[in-house]
Amino acid sequence: MDEAAILRLIVSLVFIIALILAGAWMTRRAGWLRSGPNQPIKVIGSQSLGARAYVAVVQVDNARLVLGVTSNQVSLLHTLPGGESAAPLPSTEADEAESGFAHSLRQILSRRRV
């Protein structure tokens, strides 16, 4: 083999290794490696409080944890009883307003069709 063929072989191998590493980084960054529904920790819901702060409700085994999350720390705000038989989280006023709006919209549309 001459020097050009060896150089081409080395460059090709470096390119393939870089491509594999980039694919692994993208897979990890996008979260495609997360397992299915059998995870011991499940995020029930979250609400943004600002640019880098939010409150999250997380289900861990038989407890629901209310967590305050910022860019620097995670704080436990409250512990709720959990499990399959636990009562659902209370709805917010926004949820009630949306359902009221949806109900009103359906009534108006049904009047127009008749």
Give 91's DSSP letter: P
Which of 18-32, 46-60, 88-102 has the least mean pLDDT? 88-102
Prediction pTM value: 0.44
- Answer with the residue of higher pLDDT: 87 or 58: 58
Per-residue pLDDT at 86 exceeds 50 = no
Q: pLDDT confidence of 62, banded at 50, 70, 90?
A: confident
- Answer with the residue of higher pLDDT: 16 or 26: 16
Overall number of domains in the chain: 2
Query: Could you read off the pLDDT of 22-44 as tens digits, one per residue?
Result: 999 888 887 676 655 667 888 88
Same domain, 29 and 42: no
In a domain, 102, yes or no: no
Segments forming the whole domain that contains residue 50: 37-87
**64 Cβ contact list (under 8 Å, min separation 6):** 44, 57, 58, 79, 80, 81, 82, 86, 89
CA angle 78, 41, 44 (to 5 degrees): 60
